[in-house]
Structure 1
């Protein structure tokens, strides 16, 4: 795919907005004067994209007429993760479409496409004539999750309300899709235990943590 460098501040995609509507992603943006075509390219959250990477096999050509007809760009959601969308303007010269290499800032947006569910259960087993109890934790995941995403917190006398409300422990293994039964934990009889995100802002955008 041929491209050209920017010749002015004009002809640039701006004000991209994106949101999830049911099982569809919706993108809207401000079309500059003189631009009737764009290429829409998807990448991982941290991947950079430039015009020389774009071709008909890895990007979607979208026209201004289509945009007007459908009131934006719609795409069915198949992934549950963060994805960056890049929109590259195109111009037609001598019968050829040429991409305009934009600044990589105004023509991109990163979105969280849905949330994967993480279900967990905590079962206690009391021990006769002992001041401790055995804890069994089961975690069920819609997708594989790295161990750094979760932690468990133990607090004496009451249930912890966040990851800093008690003594925080990391898990020693990643979580596979489906049912994960973790090694038993022995705690004091008056202790309570709960699971939290290690980083609520980071992981809370892509996962829903649900106690069963």
Structure 2
């Protein structure tokens, strides 16, 4: 199997879309003339992109292992009204669809630098449960707070933070003083050391980046 760059006359994948129903993802695209087969791959996006990037980084030449690509024909596509795949796992996936050149001894696939043959889709979200327990002492200006985090999968230290606000519970990371956690969380339950706050201070746990991490995890108060 080898790849060539798309040229003006190369068969390329257009209008690639995905639809998710339950745990099944259906891909559909416009078939190029001149080919009756494609190769399709799937890769976990978040595990590989902890430092950022885009789905277009996951092609040949970007560390992608092409051995996992699956042959799919136009006849199979017509019979199934697309390509269907079961989503198993947590996080996001990127699907890659490569047109295959006909008449070659070995599969020759067309790489599309514009990324129009790639599409991203979310899978399941891992649950993160947290509890914040307060303990007040008489005749003291402070109270102690103990945070416990229970997660289904390991978490990096930059996923969560806790926020302290005076006079009421914070409604988000910007609604108070933010304190990042200094260590990652293993899967399972973790009890953190007690912290002291003022009697009128209140603490809650939030994602550091709700837009990013909200796609991967569900944060549930206990």
TM-score (norm 2): 0.86
Aligned to 2:121: 111
Higher strand share: 1
Distance 2:149 2:27 in 1: 35
Structure 2 residue 204 is matched with structure 1 residue 194: yes
153-162 or 84-93: which moved more?
84-93
Distance 2:212 2:96 in 1: 22
CA drift at 1:102: 2.2
Alignment of 1:73-152 (within 5 A): 73-93=83-103, 97-152=107-162
Deviations 1:10-56 (A, max 9, x none): 5210111123321222222221222211111223434431289665x
Distance 2:174 2:106 in 1: 59
Deviations 1:148-177 (A, max 9, x none): 011111001111011011111011111111
8 Å contact from structure 1 (residues 153, 194) kept in 2: yes
Distance 2:213 2:193 in 1: 23
8 Å contact from structure 1 (residues 39, 87) kept in 2: yes
180-189 or 5-14: which moved more?
5-14
Distance 1:160 1:51 in 2: 46
Alignment of 1:1-212 (within 5 A): 1-9=1-9, 11-45=11-45, 46=53, 47-50=57-60, 55=66, 57-93=67-103, 97-212=107-222
8 Å contact from structure 1 (residues 50, 104) kept in 2: no
Distance 1:5 1:203, change over 3 A: closer
Distance 1:51 1:60 in 2: 18
Which residues of structure 2 form unaligned runs of 5+?
Answer: 46-52
Distance 1:94 1:145, change over 3 A: closer
193-202 or 97-106: which moved more?
97-106
TM-score (norm 1): 0.90
Distance 1:95 1:102 in 2: 21
Distance 2:176 2:98 in 1: 49
